[in-house]
Amino acid sequence: MELASSQRWELYRVLAEPVRLRLLALAAEEELSIGELADLLGESQSNVSRHATALRQAGLLRDRREGTRTLVHTSAHAERDVVVADALTSGRALCREDGSLARVADVVVAREAAAREFFARPARARLDAIPTEAGAYLAALACLLPRRELAVDAGTGDGRLLEVLAPAYARVVAIDRARAQLAFARERVVARRFTNVTLLEGELDAPALRHAVGQEGAAGDGPGGADAVFASRVLHHAPQPAKVVAQLAALTSPGGALVVIDYARHDDESMRDQADTWLGFEPDELRRFARAAGLQEALTANIPASLCGDGPDRHLPWQVLVAKKPGSKKGRES
């Protein structure tokens, strides 16, 4: 909300506290939880919550509940106010001076530390996740796809999605940053004799991945790219989901599609023990991520619970996002 002109004095009172100036500046840099802000500010969580409440009541912060966490970010209209803009300048100066502004990036990286550790643990892959003859059915269905030369499996893990993609696409590039998971994916590839699968270890912006999909430029706007990019249950581990969607979109060729399978919003805090950074997403959040990444025709749909397997996340609501990259690319149909 915005303060009425008769209440402008209240705005000055709220912004007279240095801790609030620093909090406001940090929240403008990144959506942060109260705990993360407490760490950056060197304050107790109760004190940060008190200051955040004052800023929110003044219309300068918006918050979002995510399970038991509260995340805050500067309101969209805040910087349009000359007083608030000046306060943000002062707050950023204070945060640069105490080093907290530079540590925001470290906080974001720390969000995925649990995910990195979780997926580095050795675990026995299940090679019989789907019927062994399913590949034949998928190969037949693949004839219905207008473009099936190249697919990317982003965050392949132990390679379960390869059981679907390898029979359907002429070539599949699968990438994961966890070596332990890739070892099981490699075992699956050998066992299934998938000669059309390339496994890569690294991040989504790895030069090797760009090269594998025929993109030499870092921006992903040159020639090449995949006919379809898949990310199955990857986004909820990402510290910055919108950034990951943008990276996935960059790997997609003009006219190609991005397919994201992930959880709908839920309240099961126990999933944080499975290295989940986010407790799912609202459908409009996924569509907003896609639009921000330059994709079009973004659609979301719920996935029936009966199709969600028997893993530790089988009780969660699953959904799929499908979006297309504008343009067309000749010579990729098969």
Asked whether residue 86 falls in the same domain as residue 150, the answer is no
Specify if 334 maps to a domain: no
The residues that bridge with 51 in the sheet, in sequence order, are none
Specify if 330 maps to a domain: no
Specify if 332 maps to a domain: no
Asked whether residue 71 falls in the same domain as residue 178, the answer is no
Specify if 73 maps to a domain: yes
Specify if 329 maps to a domain: no
The stretch 182-206 carries a mean pLDDT of: 96
- Is the Cα dihedral 181, 182, 183, 189 positive or negative? positive
Give the integer Cα–Cα distance in Å for 53 and 195: 57
Asked whether residue 138 falls in the same domain as residue 177, the answer is yes
What mean pLDDT value characterizes the chain? Answer: 90
Asked whether residue 92 falls in the same domain as residue 155, the answer is no
Q: For 203, which DSSP code?
A: -
Specify if 331 maps to a domain: no
Give the integer Cα–Cα distance in Å for 260 and 324: 12
Give the integer Cα–Cα distance in Å for 197 and 162: 8
Is the pLDDT at 333 greater than 50, yes or no?
Answer: no
Dump pLDDT digits (tens) for 16-60.
999 999 999 999 999 999 999 999 999 999 999 999 999 999 999
For residue 145, the domain's CATH number is 3.40.50.150
Give the integer Cα–Cα distance in Å for 167 and 141: 9
pLDDT at 276: 94
Q: CA triplet 141, 144, 149: central angle to 5 degrees?
A: 95
Asked whether residue 161 falls in the same domain as residue 284, the answer is yes
The residues that bridge with 201 in the sheet, in sequence order, are 176
pLDDT at 141: 86
**Three-class DSSP category at 16:** coil
Domain count, the chain: 2
pLDDT at 271: 94
Give the integer Cα–Cα distance in Å for 262 and 266: 11
Asked whether residue 85 falls in the same domain as residue 133, the answer is no
Asked whether residue 260 falls in the same domain as residue 194, the answer is yes
Structural domain boundaries enclosing 247: 118-324
Asked whether residue 153 falls in the same domain as residue 232, the answer is yes
State how far the alpha carbon of 193 is from the alpha carbons of 36, 92, 188, 190, in Å: 46, 56, 8, 5
Asked whether residue 170 falls in the same domain as residue 316, the answer is yes
pLDDT at 116: 84
Q: Which of 77, 110, 143 is the last residue of a domain?
A: 110
């760009």: which residue's tokens? 210
Asked whether residue 20 falls in the same domain as residue 98, the answer is yes
Specify if 34 maps to a domain: yes
Asked whether residue 25 falls in the same domain as residue 150, the answer is no
For residue 105, the domain's CATH number is 1.10.10.10
Give the integer Cα–Cα distance in Å for 293 and 295: 6
- Which tokens sit at 109? 């990286």
pLDDT at 129: 55
Q: Which of 110, 143, 173 is the last residue of a domain?
A: 110
Give the integer Cα–Cα distance in Å for 208 and 170: 19
- Which tokens sit at 266? 């839920």
Q: Which of 83, 110, 137 is the last residue of a domain?
A: 110
**Three-class DSSP category at 128:** coil
pLDDT-above-90 percentage for the chain: 73
Is the pLDDT at 130 greater than 80, yes or no?
Answer: no
275: left (phi over 0), alpha (psi -120 to 50) or beta: left
Asked whether residue 80 falls in the same domain as residue 186, the answer is no
